[in-house]
Amino acid sequence: MCSKYPWTRYAFWRQELKRLKQTTLESYFKFLSDYEIPEQQKGVYNWQDSVIKFANGSQILLLDLAYLPSDPLYTRLGSLELTGAFVDEAAEVDDKCITILSTRVWRQLNKKFNLPPKILLTFNPDKGHVYRNYYLPYKNGTLPEYRAFVPALATDNEFIPDTYIEQLERSDEVTKQRLLYWNFEYDDTPWRLFDYQAINNLWNNAKNDWETFVSCDVARFGKDKTVIMLWKGWHIEKIIELASSSTVQVCEEIHKLQQLHSFPLSRCVVDEDGVGWGVVDSLGCKGFINNSKAISPANSNKVSYKKRNYKNLKTQCYFLLAEKVNQWAISIEPDYCKDKLVQELDIIVQTHIDDDSTLQIITKDEIKEKIGRSPDYSDAMMMRLVFELTTRWPAGEVIQWNDWVIDTFEIDDRWLLPEDMEEEETVFEEVELTPY
């Protein structure tokens, strides 16, 4: 297209420019060689400017589509004028970015040459926006007329060596189902904590709002983001994202929320691991240490329990979060971080199933390896559940937990979860209540 139509401009995109150069660009050069494209049509690649230039003035730009909290609306794309675009590994790219990118096409000689604006997206099976916007409509026969979905197996590519197919056939079942059979629906484990439909319902569930809480996962390094969630009961009303944030910046944002919504800092929890300790120290709020011991029921001599042996507090809170999500008890304001949260929650699985003594979940490092980033959003969401374990409820108040209706009592600054109580034993005995 570039060699045929002078002064047109196309773009190659991927979430990270480095990976684009290492993978997509190498595939481009291989394509030119395999199809024996004449030299005069190949263009010349400028490594410094990351652009392929053609003798007739046309260009192919190599650009990244990484999400930046400082630029949530991708305003950096505003000045681009493109004839067409190609996005590789589109599942990694934010859905909003794809939408904005589509407005950048049809601006560079499309009318002159009668070229319809086109964006080509390639992706492997994923449960994010590509599943929702492309695969499901294709499967259900509701794909809009202006879109086309072309399934392509590895075996359809005549240039892929037989050794690659053999490697896929010897791979684990997950890799085989995704990359060899291109199976979007394959669920590799029955040990997922979160029901996929329940995750997607988070943005449609009824609001259950009362007291205000704040949970915050502080960025540690690199491309990790600080995520602050403002809760009204079990409704996430606001999500604030900060990149490269300092302790002062995080404290300022939380103070702003406190001034607007009038909540005590005892209802604010911040990840205390790593750099987060400075925020906890400055604010005087509740600190969350992921690897600390799970909160055990207090005064077990007075109350009977079913004790669940969680590996740590983080695991305990993720299990409790899953119960809430799967019961459609949590809601999120529309359009807040849907793709990221869906991807992060969907990947949370129970591990070490054969270990009968301890409940464990996938580690953060394993998640980062699978999705290419830290689960900042789900971690911030998870920490809200610590208040379920530590909140002091007024003595004698009647509260409801799922199908249980119980009288609450103050016991060692904690309240008891009904699912941890023996159904056929006396649950409470009279205890001396601690004043507030």
Encode pLDDT of 291-350 as tens digits.
999 886 433 333 333 457 899 999 999 999 999 999 999 999 987 788 889 889 998 999
Beta-strand runs (E) in 203-337: 212-217, 225-232, 235-243, 268-271, 286-288, 331-332
β-pair partners for 60: 10, 52
- Of residues 252, 222, 227, 225, the one with CA closest to residue 239: 227
Q: What is the pLDDT of residue 54?
A: 93
137 and 201 share a domain?
A: no
Model confidence at 188: pLDDT above 70: no
DSSP code of residue 380 = H
Identify whether 428 is part of a domain: no
13-22, 124-133, 234-243, 401-410, range with the lowest pLDDT: 401-410
Mean pLDDT is highest, among 56-60, 168-172, 294-298, 335-339, for: 56-60
* CATH number for the domain that contains residue 222: 3.30.420.240
201 and 127 share a domain?
A: no
204 and 140 share a domain?
A: no
Q: Which amino acid type is present at position 311?
A: K
212 and 361 share a domain?
A: yes
What tens digit of pLDDT does each residue of 385-412 get?
A: 999 888 654 444 444 433 333 334 333 3
**Which range of residues forms the domain containing residue 321?**
196-390
352 and 216 share a domain?
A: yes
Q: What is the pLDDT of residue 304?
A: 37
- Of residues 332, 334, 328, the one with CA closest to residue 378: 332
Q: What is the pLDDT of residue 332?
A: 96
Looking at the chain, the whole-number percentage of residues with pLDDT higher than 70 is 84
132 and 211 share a domain?
A: no
Average pLDDT, the chain: 82
Mean pLDDT is highest, among 63-67, 97-101, 151-155, 266-270, for: 266-270
Pairwise CA distance, residues 332 & 198, whole Å: 12
What tens digit of pLDDT does each residue of 217-231 get?
A: 998 666 678 999 999
Q: Looking at residues 163-191, what average pLDDT do you find?
A: 81
116 and 246 share a domain?
A: no
Q: What is the pLDDT of residue 223?
A: 65
Identify whether 325 is part of a domain: yes
Q: Is 74 left (phi over 0), alpha (psi -120 to 50) or beta?
A: left
Pairwise CA distance, residues 65 & 93, whole Å: 7
Count of domains for the chain: 2
139 and 237 share a domain?
A: no
Pairwise CA distance, residues 432 & 410, whole Å: 8
Q: Looking at residues 89-105, what average pLDDT do you find?
A: 87
33 and 108 share a domain?
A: yes
Q: What is the pLDDT of residue 260?
A: 95
331 and 202 share a domain?
A: yes
Q: 216 pLDDT band (50/70/90 cuts)?
A: very high
